[in-house]
Amino acid sequence: MCGIFGCILKDEDAAPVIHAALKRLEYRGYDSVGEATIYEGKLYVKKDQGKIDEVHMLHNLDDLPGSLGVGHTRWATHGAPLQVNAHPHVDCSGQIAVVHNGIIENFAELRLELENHGHVFKSKTDTEIIPHLIEEILKNNSSMSLVEAVLEALKKLQGSYSIAVISSKEPDKIVCARNESPLVIGVNEKAVYFASDIPAFLPLTNKAIIVDDGELVTLSLGNVAIKKIADSQVVVREPKIIEWTPEMAVKQGYPHFMIKEIHEQPSCLRNTLRVQEHYADLMSTFLDRARDVYLVACGTSYHACLASSYMFSKLAFLPSFPIIASEFVEQCGKSVNIDSTMLAVSQSGETADTLASVNTARQRAGTILGLTNTIGSTLTRVSRVYIGQQSGPEIGVAATKTFTSQLSVMAQLALRLAKKRGKVSQDEMDFLEEKLKKIPDTVEEIIQKQEGKIKQIAKKYKDAKTFFFLGRGISTATAYEGRLKLMEIAYVPAIAFPAGESKHGPISLIEPGFPVVFICPRDETRKTLIGNIMEMKARDASIIAILEEDDEEIKKLADDYVEVPRGIPEVLSPIPFVVPLQLLAYYMALERGFNPDKPRNLAKSVTVK
Ligand code: F6R
């Protein structure tokens, strides 16, 4: 997730306006920043790694000439946060500049093709292929306009994007386009703006046009021309008046970042399906060869590791040890050697216990693999191979969208590994890949259909003194994560166990009305799980079941239930099944009068440079 903004102004310099707008978009990314403007037929660019204020101190982002320009604030996906990788990216001639938010999946093939035609690339980003591609198209079709060349280029791109293109040869326009990444246009009498999100221009205008997927927009002063990329059909769309305050706008109208991020999960999961093949292959090779595999993390990321250990075992027959990072050195430190592989999982890439485990493993010659949301973090620097999970910055302290993205990446790794090891048939592989592709839609459906019901459940149980969360098999990880969310933001003491373990002690806590949340995917553990539900019912516990929509048997046993779509394979089930638990924690926090974005005693790790 990155932030893009640009403007054409009537009688003002664009650079200070772009700079101020990027500051308002900093929540979308903050590892590098850049601007490009056009003045008297020449393109000017300033960009560097670092937060906007740091880059401004060094380069004075307000000091670029011209009343038309574009800007970008980056959250790295391809290529580390370095000056060369910062946007805007330009073509060989230095005439075309592009800012981009999204992921171009086929950039490696396109780059090779363009290099064969003599194009010289400076960065490691997927974005840089876009200005070169447009340059190549214009080189071969000298009568083409910039808009036509952009349209042509877009037809070759696979992946997600919102882009903006400027050219010193056509200095009065900005060409933007959107596919799966957000893009909005702002208008007033003196200017026209584009941005990833409305907050970028809200102090300047409240008249906005929302661009849809598959549309291209040409901006010039006083004119916004929209057409469909596929067939150039003209689209007429009037601006809407946005009533949000600036604070509401940053949260896109949601009251808290946590709920905004829960709702972002379908789009994050779509991005996560675009992991870089090369790194995923390399990682699965290391995992395949290792004698011992340790999956190491803290908190929510640890729960992702726990779920992954089931995925690796069930799909690829690979045993692995999920270990809480703060225990790793004591528990396993001495067992690590040159044949060990540690897959460290950390949203921030900076969690001290995780990094301490990594250091121990490195000192003992183990191989370090990393999964993180923060390219440029310490974890990416110390890993032999790392994968960026591409969830965008998570501002809510409680991890939500980054958890489901981690699970999706791990499922993809498990599938690759299974293929490498010949452990699943092609039919099963095709089936699981297809299901994984549909998970974003499944999550979208759960949020749409169940949020209201979960609100009511939170109301009903808001005064409960304690909660139980129980699941079996891979759903044990889901239960742990549900408990953590409820404890950390709603301050309800909660207990989670593999359901089979509950009768070995914890069941003594149960008394009439005690809420017990059961995670009930239709998998091999179902029969025994129903037994566990009966045990709790016999003691008059209140059963809250997260179940598949046609599961009439468990519905009859439950006091309350939340439905997820049917037919979710067991190994993928934690992704959709955790979503109702995130929503439950969120609404319980509200019911109990707490701010879910500001849990006491907790703060997010950030990259220290
Ligand atoms: C829970 C939460 C924490 C983090 C943990 C690890 O909602 O946010 O438990 O999961 O502190 O953080 P990372 O993944 O950054 O290493």
Ligand 1 centroid – CA 602 distance (Å): 10
Angle at Cα 580 formed by Cα 575 and Cα 585, nearest 5°? Answer: 115
With the most atoms of ligand 1 within 8 angstroms of its CB, the residue from 295, 301, 605 to mutate is 301
Atom of ligand 1 nearest to the CA of 485: 7
Which residues does 100 contact at the CB level (< 8 Å), separation at least 6?
2, 4, 72, 87, 89, 126, 127, 130, 161, 162, 163
Assign 603 a pLDDT band (cuts: 50, 70, 90).
low
pLDDT of residue 604 exceeding 70, the answer is no
Assign 242 a pLDDT band (cuts: 50, 70, 90).
confident
Ligand 1 centroid – CA 398 distance (Å): 7
Atom of ligand 1 nearest to the CA of 297: 16
Assign 394 a pLDDT band (cuts: 50, 70, 90).
confident
pLDDT of residue 599 exceeding 80, the answer is yes
pLDDT of residue 607 exceeding 50, the answer is no
Protein residue with its CA nearest to atom 5 in ligand 1: 299
With the most atoms of ligand 1 within 8 angstroms of its CB, the residue from 295, 298, 480, 586 to mutate is 298
Mean pLDDT of the chain: 94
Atom of ligand 1 nearest to the CA of 298: 6
Q: Which of 2, 176, 268, 520 is catalytic?
A: 2
User: Of residues 78 and 545, which shows the higher confidence score?
Assistant: 545
With the most atoms of ligand 1 within 8 angstroms of its CB, the residue from 326, 348, 581 to mutate is 348
Ligand 1 centroid – CA 299 distance (Å): 5
Atom of ligand 1 nearest to the CA of 398: 7
Q: Which of 455, 460, 604, 609 is catalytic?
A: 604
Mean pLDDT confidence for 511-521: 96
Q: Which of 240, 261, 372 is nearest to 27 (CA)?
A: 261
Query: Mind listing the pLDDT tens digit for each residue in 436-473?
Result: 999 999 999 999 999 999 999 999 999 999 999 999 99
Query: Mind listing the pLDDT tens digit for each residue in 563-582?
Result: 999 999 999 999 999 999 99
Assign 311 a pLDDT band (cuts: 50, 70, 90).
very high
Separation in Å, CA 557 to CA 9, 269, 460: 64, 33, 18
Dihedral of alpha carbons 135, 137, 140, 143, sign: negative
Ligand 1 centroid – CA 476 distance (Å): 18
Query: Mind listing the pLDDT tens digit for each residue in 107-143?
Result: 999 999 999 999 999 999 999 999 999 999 999 998 9
- Which letter does DSSP use for residue 181 in this model? S
| Helix axis angle, 129-140 to 146-154, nearest 10° | 120
Ligand 1 centroid – CA 399 distance (Å): 6
Protein residue with its CA nearest to atom 7 in ligand 1: 398
What gap in Å lies between CA 166 and CA 162, rounded to an integer? 14
Protein residue with its CA nearest to atom 16 in ligand 1: 346
How crowded is residue 109: how many other Cβ atoms within 10 Å of its Cβ? 12
Strands 367-372 and 340-346: parallel
Ligand 1 centroid – CA 303 distance (Å): 10
Q: What are phi and psi of 227, to 5 degrees?
A: -145, 160
Give the pLDDT of residue 75: 82
Give the pLDDT of residue 606: 52
What gap in Å lies between CA 9 and CA 12, rounded to an integer? 6
Give the pLDDT of residue 274: 83
Atom of ligand 1 nearest to the CA of 403: 10
Protein residues whose CB sits closer than 6 Å to any atom of ligand 1: 298-301, 346-348, 351, 354, 398-399, 484, 488, 605
Protein residue with its CA nearest to atom 9 in ligand 1: 299
Atom of ligand 1 nearest to the CA of 397: 8
pLDDT of residue 179 exceeding 70, the answer is yes
Query: Mind listing the pLDDT tens digit for each residue in 24-46?
Result: 888 777 789 999 999 999 999 99
With the most atoms of ligand 1 within 8 angstroms of its CB, the residue from 302, 401, 488, 605 to mutate is 605
Ligand 1 centroid – CA 119 distance (Å): 42
pLDDT of residue 248 exceeding 70, the answer is yes
Mean pLDDT confidence for 163-180: 96
Ligand 1 centroid – CA 46 distance (Å): 35
Protein residue with its CA nearest to atom 3 in ligand 1: 299
Give the pLDDT of residue 605: 60
Is 537 annotated as catalytic? no
- Which letter does DSSP use for residue 368 in this model? E
Assign 608 a pLDDT band (cuts: 50, 70, 90).
very low
Atom of ligand 1 nearest to the CA of 402: 14
Is 92 annotated as catalytic? no
| Chain center to CA of 527 | 35
Protein residue with its CA nearest to atom 4 in ligand 1: 299
Ligand 1 centroid – CA 400 distance (Å): 10
DSSP 513-578: T-EEEEEE-SSTTHHHHHHHHHHHHHTTPEEEEEEETT-HHHHHH-SEEEEE-S---GGGTHHHHH
pLDDT of residue 203 exceeding 80, the answer is yes
Query: Mind listing the pLDDT tens digit for each residue in 332-390?
Result: 999 999 999 999 999 999 898 999 999 999 999 999 999 999 887 889 989 999 999 88
Ligand 1 centroid – CA 393 distance (Å): 13
Atom of ligand 1 nearest to the CA of 372: 14
